[in-house]
Amino acid sequence: MKDQIPIEAQEFFPYKNLRPSQAKLINLVNEVAQKGGHLVVEGANGLGKTISMLVGVLLSAKREGRTIIYCCRTHRQADRVLEEIHKIREKGCEVSGLAIRGRNETCSNELVKKYALDAKSALLLCKELKKRKRCDSFEKLQNEPWYVSELEHYFLEKPTTGAEFLEICQNEEICAYELARRLIQKVDIIALSYLYIFDPNIRDNFLRLSLEKPLHECILIFDEAHNLPQIATEIASDSISKYSIKAVIKESKNFNSKIIEQFGKALNSVLEQNLKNFQKEDDETFIEPSEFLQQVEKRLGLTLDDMFFKKMVKAGEVIQKQLLKLGKHPRSFVKRTAEFMTKWIETSDRIDFVHLLKRYKSSEKVKAQLTISALDPRYCTKPIIKSAFATICASGTLQPISAFIDKIGLPSDTKNEVLPSPYSNDNVCAYICEGVSTALKQRTPETYSKMVDLISQICKNTPQNIGVFCASYNVLDGLLTAELEGALSKPLLTEKRQMSSQQNDKLIQQFKDFANFDGAVLLGVMGGRSAEGADYPGNEMNAVIIVGVPYASPTPMIQAQIKYYDTKFAGKGRIYGYNIPAMRRASQAAGRPIRSLTDRGAIIFLDYRFATPYLRGYLPGWIRENTSVIPYEPNLLGEHLRIFFEG
């Protein structure tokens, strides 16, 4: 099959055989990498997209001296890129790569590990330690150039994952972050977080100081690109809590800054006044930004402009240095609040931002925050797309691709392709169940009882593990109230509200361990860590149950998003801002059991609305092609699953 791809590219392909559609993907990527431009591709899990995209770009990138920047969501995805580069090198090709992690994640200095809870704190601490020559690992990097040269050669010859790179540097007592910065300019492929490209502060530092190369000399690959619109709007947004504002008052008192203390009190007072209008513990409301600022100015008796907040930022930087001298964490609430208020002013007249006051419950306490919410991902994405030589976006859940192209600001001549499904009915069986729904009027005890019965059938006829992902925690609670746990023949593990990432990781590992026995049932919500951030290959999840359509609550923010998209995309606000995000969450959860061509899994949608032509059209092709609609009848679904799993 290798004669289907360019002969020159064949030397980079490290596997014996091409999988279905890999040749097509390699050729599509190769064309864009040579000529420049943009490509969007939807392809199922297990198709081999990572190696195909690398092979497609390598030939022209190496020839023209372009750097390949592979953007990922997680460290595991970045490590996967390095594993593929290692296989290419084993074939005899001179290809180098590096997985980048943040300064606060890689630094071994005890002071940084103790006090740098975020990237900005790590940067400040790092600068001070280097200035005072109190960082041994950096001094070794500076004073032993011959040894550093040997290490660089080693990493260029042997691509390593981020964890391996860090471990070697720590064992050699050398600064991993600074060594990575030196290697960036020499490697062919850099795997990194989306933040390095879309966060303007991180991007400028990365491109100017580390890579020393403009974007028009780079090819950008965005893996799991369905995340792009959300990531971009999150990066462009900002928020500050009531706790932080009150901390400004305390901090400015401690450091004798009377005017900043008065500003903190005025800001907190106006915030308190606005919170009195809230009716519920968990709520949000729009704030007119200029009017809010005028209320603060009136209480303070001063004009609040860019100059005021620039001085406040500088005062915060002085406070940070003083805290460092005292051996304390150099976090300045004064500086953080000044940066937020600067953005508040900058976005006050922009129609692609809204300003909100939110109140929410966390750890049994009612909290509040001011929020600047971006409505348009293109604020972040469009300048990058315009600057790069070529961009390639790939995911298993991008349909409708035209909407994705619109939302991130790709040009009209962007090439796009939906690759054929590599799966058959032997791999995947999918059912949409009639007679049940989580539509609000149908959330009755009778409906939940039917759902529990169906989940029980699935449980009895599935070999090991089952995932149950609900449209919301309210739906999850409805299943528990209907005595789901008592109806199951396997142990039930339940995701909880406000679970920490460590607690969630422990829950998932516990669930995966049950795959070695008779299995368990994992109950969670779509859009959560269990439903999107984890993979469950093999028996780690034989079946997944999608309970309801995960529409977002119609909050003021969601309504503003719909209204904004209506004006920008000719009445498509509800489709772009409401329907597609919901179906993306459902599709991501549905794909959890099928991670490779050898996996076999069942997908069951417990909501008749998935069968409507409107919503079914938003499902990825590889799911849609293997889906049947089944009526609600006792034991019917269970019998279908028994036949499927018995083979």
Closest CA to 196 of 176, 179, 174, 218: 218
Peptide bond into 400 cis (omega under 30): yes
Closest CA to 373 of 551, 564, 581, 198: 564
Taking only the tens place, the pLDDT of each residue in 591-606 is: 998 888 888 899 999 9
Please state, in angstroms and as integers, the Cα–Cα distance from residue 561 to each residue in 375, 422, 438, following that order. Answer: 6, 36, 24
Taking only the tens place, the pLDDT of each residue in 383-422 is: 999 999 999 999 999 989 999 999 999 999 999 999 988 8
Q: How confident is the model at residue 529 (pLDDT cuts 50, 70, 90)?
A: confident
The reported pLDDT for the residue numbered 363 is 67
Taking only the tens place, the pLDDT of each residue in 237-263 is: 999 999 999 999 999 999 888 999 999
Q: Distance (Å, rounded) from C-alpha 512 to C-alpha 540?
A: 5
One-letter amino acid for residue 553 of the chain: S
3-state class (DSSP) for residue 355? strand
Taking only the tens place, the pLDDT of each residue in 179-237 is: 998 999 999 999 999 999 999 888 888 887 788 889 999 999 999 999 999 999 999 99
Assess whether pLDDT exceeds 50 at residue 2: no
Tracing tokens 């929020």 back to the chain, one arrives at 371
- pTM, two decimal places: 0.91
Taking only the tens place, the pLDDT of each residue in 608-634 is: 999 999 899 899 888 888 899 999 988
Question: Helix, strand, coil shares of the chain as percentages rounded to 5?
Answer: 55, 15, 30
Taking only the tens place, the pLDDT of each residue in 317-374 is: 999 888 888 878 788 999 999 999 999 999 999 999 999 999 887 766 778 999 999 9
Torsion angle defined by CA atoms of residues 109, 115, 117 and 122, in that order, rounded to the nearest 10 degrees = -50
Assess whether pLDDT exceeds 70 at residue 451: yes
Q: How confident is the model at residue 452 (pLDDT cuts 50, 70, 90)?
A: very high
Closest CA to 434 of 251, 632, 293, 605: 632
Assess whether pLDDT exceeds 50 at residue 63: yes
Angle between helices 378-387 and 401-408 (to 10 degrees): 90
Number of CB atoms found within 10 A of residue 612's CB: 10
Assess whether pLDDT exceeds 90 at residue 55: yes
The reported pLDDT for the residue numbered 331 is 86
Please state, in angstroms and as integers, the Cα–Cα distance from residue 519 to each residue in 168, 176, 516, 542, 596, following that order. Answer: 38, 41, 7, 9, 20
Any idea which of 283-287, 428-432, 531-535 has the lowest mean pLDDT? Answer: 531-535
The reported pLDDT for the residue numbered 1 is 41
Burial state string for 305-329 with b = 16 or more CB within 10 A and e = fewer than 16: eeebbeebbebbbebbeebbeeeee
The reported pLDDT for the residue numbered 62 is 92
More confident site: 437 or 204:
437
Taking only the tens place, the pLDDT of each residue in 79-115 is: 999 999 999 999 889 999 999 887 777 777 777 777 6
Q: With pLDDT > 70 as the criterion, what percentage of the chain qualifies?
A: 98
The reported pLDDT for the residue numbered 366 is 78
- Establish how many alpha carbons lie within 13 A of residue 467's alpha carbon, considering only the half-sphere containing its beta carbon: 35
Assess whether pLDDT exceeds 90 at residue 590: yes
Q: With pLDDT > 90 as the criterion, what percentage of the chain qualifies?
A: 68
- Report the chain's mean pLDDT, rounded to a whole number: 91
Residue ranges of domains in the chain, CATH in brackets: 2-102+144-234+379-418 (3.40.50.300), 238-374 (1.10.275.40), 428-646 (3.40.50.300)
The reported pLDDT for the residue numbered 178 is 87
Mean pLDDT of 513-526: 96
